[in-house]
Chains A and B, each alone.
Chain A
Amino acid sequence: DAGVIQSPRHEVTEMGQEVTLRCKPISGHNSLFWYRQTMMRGLELLIYFNNNVPIDDSGMPEDRFSAKMPNASFSTLKIQPSEPRDSAVYFCASSLDRESEAFFGQGTRLTVV
């Protein structure tokens, strides 16, 4: 298996633009997570899906952020409109189930100018 695949690896966008980050979890995994990492705040859990259903989105910073998982093999994290303070590395992770270890993708480095 190729592991968790995220795209794009790097994204530079202007403030106010819509940004969509994509994630393909490991085949057969039922849980999917979105994390954000910054120097100031470290790794933060944004949202968690189980069997394609959002379970806990308490970490989503504000309404500008939304996440979807239309099927078991694809998820998106959208920021609309983007702001410079959204600049961070966004990681997607998946696990077989809620008790198993999580496997992380390589991340998307987002820069909002």
Chain B
Amino acid sequence: DAKTTQPPSMDCAEGRAANLPCNHSTISGNEYVYWYRQIHSQGPQYIIHGLKNNETNEMASLIITEDRKSSTLILPHATLRDTAVYYCITGGNTDKLIFGTGTRLQVFP
């Protein structure tokens, strides 16, 4: 079973920031938080990952709470092409990535 909890769906206006929450209260000290997304009919795409510090790359920012029990993925300026299912996953190695049901993000004009 997935070890994370995410809202099933969210909406976001184009150009606005999309903030996707994730609860991972049972995360252990050596486990990372990974975010992937899956655009319709495509394979999952890696977005970002982090251990305890906040991370930023060209796609998104990842904010991890100090107790590491939750995190937020931020897409700073959402576009229609960001419409996808977003998966929050915890794990110590890529081999133990267990995908849950994710959050279906709908970006509207």
Contacts and interface: CB of A to CB of B under 8 A. Distances in A.
A43 B99 contact: yes
Interface of B: 34, 42-46, 49, 87, 93-95, 97-101
A3 to B, nearest CB: 9
Given A45-B97, A101-B34, A104-B45, 15 more contacts: A4-B43, A35-B99, A42-B101, A43-B44, A43-B99, A44-B99, A91-B44, A98-B94, A98-B95, A99-B94, A101-B94, A102-B46, A102-B94, A104-B44, A106-B43
B48 to A, nearest CB: 9
Interface string A74-106: 000000000000000001010100111111111
Interface of A: 4, 31, 33, 35, 42-45, 48, 50, 55-56, 91, 93, 95, 98-107
Given A31-B95, A42-B99, A45-B97, A104 B43 contact: yes
Shortest beta-carbon contacts, A-B, top 10: A104-B43, A43-B99, A101-B46, A98-B93, A48-B95, A104-B44, A95-B94, A102-B94, A91-B43, A107-B43
Nearest to B101: A42
Please classify the interface of chain B as helix (H, G, I), strand (E, B), loop, or mixed, using the class held by over half of its residues. loop
A55 B95 contact: yes
Contact of B46 (A56, A91, A103, A106): A103
Contacts of B42: 106-107
B56 to A, nearest CB: 15
A88 to B, nearest CB: 13
A91 B43 CA distance: 7
A12 to B, nearest CB: 17
Contacts of B100: 42
A55 B33 CA distance: 22
Contacts of A99: 93-94
Contacts of A93: 43-44
Given A98-B93, A99-B93, A105 B98 contact: no
